[in-house]
Amino acid sequence: MWRKLAAAALCCIAFGAAAHAEVNEVRMSKQFGLPYLPMIVIEAQQLIEKNAAAAGLGDVKTTWTQRVGPAAELDALLAGQADFIGPGVPTLATIWDKTAGTPQEAKALIAMQSMPFVLVTRNPNIKTIADFTDKDKIALPAVKLTGHAIALEIEAAKIWGSEHYDKLDSITITRSHADAAAAVMGGGSEINSHFASSPFYYYELATPGIHQVLKSYDALGARHTNGVLVTSKKFHDANPKMCGVVIKAFEEANAFIKAHPREAAQIYLTATKDKNSLDALEKMVADPDVDYTTTPVSVMKIVDFMYKVGRLKKKPASWKDMFFPEAYGLNGS
């Protein structure tokens, strides 16, 4: 009898362990450019694998996929093809607004960095955004959806009034940063302007005849988060230790980037086959405008504007509504 009871107890223990087992593979999705440098460092140094082993999770495999634009990342997350994506704050606000309280609910685990967007043009007549006409085309990674688009609308509202925040939307066009930069620098395209992320605006501003029109930090009146690490509530709740491992990996990557910008730049060059020199990339990585940090900054400046213009149906009470509890101890805004 006791043998049957012992066997039953062991089965219960085994079933309980299996039921609460965390994943042994993490699927990370990244886009292009220096905003994703922490992910590139994590991949190169296998920081998720290292921290998973230290946390007692055994051998963990990390699968990395590179996608173009926030829409592709969002689709991958909602389709269950990615566990973590790294879009901007507007994408986070949009997915939070649409999925809160549903089986597909998603939030941010942490921020990935604070970094500006820079609007550049090859049109010599444009000094401010008030100089754009319907003969110009501004490329950005997604019309209406990205931080670039929101920053442009915020600046437009300042100049023409809140009711005309979308005055320039009709001349914006969706393009990848690489394609937009090539068009602006090449000069043979209808696209003569680009609201760019790093490192693309460095390339463009180093090209004769191209100049800066607007920096997103100026539009928002403050430094702001560029990208956030988003996951589903389902994954988060089922894998709390793994989420802790991922946070630890980002913290280590950020510390490495700050302490060793040249080595981080070399990792970026090796991974991306970028054509820039190591010296040039090191300066970009160490730019005072950039802070590789997990703390979300000025998130609500962007989200409040999106709600005001009807882009969101629900208004979060604070940035914490869109983040998981692991971020609550950060000095966010």
How does pLDDT run across 17-53, given as a tens digit for each residue?
333 579 899 999 998 889 999 999 999 999 999 999 9
How much is the average pLDDT of 302-330? 96
CB 112 within 8 A of CB 86: yes
Question: Is residue 93 within 8 Å of residue 322, measured between CB atoms?
Answer: yes
Residues 280 and 141 in one domain: no
Instruction: Tell me the two tokens of residue 291.
Output: 């802070």
CATH number of the domain encompassing residue 147:
3.40.190.10
Mark whether 106 and 123 lie in a shared domain.
no
Residue 19 belongs to a domain: no
321 and 231 belong to one structural domain: yes
103 class by beta-carbon count within 10 Å (0-12 exposed, 13-18 middle, 19+ buried): exposed
Q: How far apart are CA 299 and CA 331, in angstroms?
A: 12
φ and ψ at residue 176, rounded to 5 degrees: -65, 155
**Residue where a domain terminates, one of 186, 220, 254:** 220
Cβ-defined contacts of 179-184 (< 8 Å, 24+) = 179/139, 180/139, 180/140, 183/139, 184/120, 184/121, 184/122, 184/139, 184/210
Give the pLDDT of residue 188: 85
User: In the prediction, which pLDDT does 74 show?
Assistant: 83
Cα-based distances in Å from 57 to 11, 158, 330 = 21, 51, 26
Residues 75 and 55 in one domain: yes
pLDDT digits (tens, 9 = 90+) for 80-137: 899 999 999 999 999 999 999 999 999 999 999 999 999 999 999 999 999 999 999 9
Are residue 128 and residue 260 in the same domain, yes or no?
A: no
Contact between 171 and 205 under an 8 Å Cβ cutoff? The reply is no
pLDDT of residue 20: 54
Is 18 a member of any domain?
no
Give the total number of structural domains in the chain: 2
Assess if residue 315 is contained within a domain. Answer: yes
| 270 and 204 within one domain | no
pLDDT of residue 266: 97
Mind listing the pLDDT tens digit for each residue in 238-258? 999 999 999 999 999 999 999
- Residue range 177-193: average pLDDT? 93
The answer to whether 36 touches 30, Cβ cutoff 8 Å, is yes
Same domain, 168 and 29: no
Contact 295, 328 (CB under 8 A): no
On whether both 212 and 239 belong to a single domain, the answer is: no
Please say whether the beta carbons of 330 and 296 come within 8 A: yes
**Whole-number percent of the chain with pLDDT over 90:** 81
Of 196, 220, 244, which one is at a domain's C-terminal end? 220
Q: pTM score, two decimals? A: 0.87
Relative orientation angle of helices 47-54 and 240-259, to the nearest 10 degrees? 130
CA dihedral 119, 125, 127, 133 (to 10 degrees): -70
Domain end position, chosen among 220, 242, 275: 220
Together in a domain, 213 and 243: no
* Domain hosting residue 159, numbered range: 118-220
How buried is residue 186: exposed, middle or buried, by Cβ count under 10 Å (0-12/13-18/19+)?
A: exposed
What's at 94, amino acid-wise? Answer: T
42, 249 in Cβ contact below 8 A? yes
Q: Is the same domain home to 80 and 201?
A: no
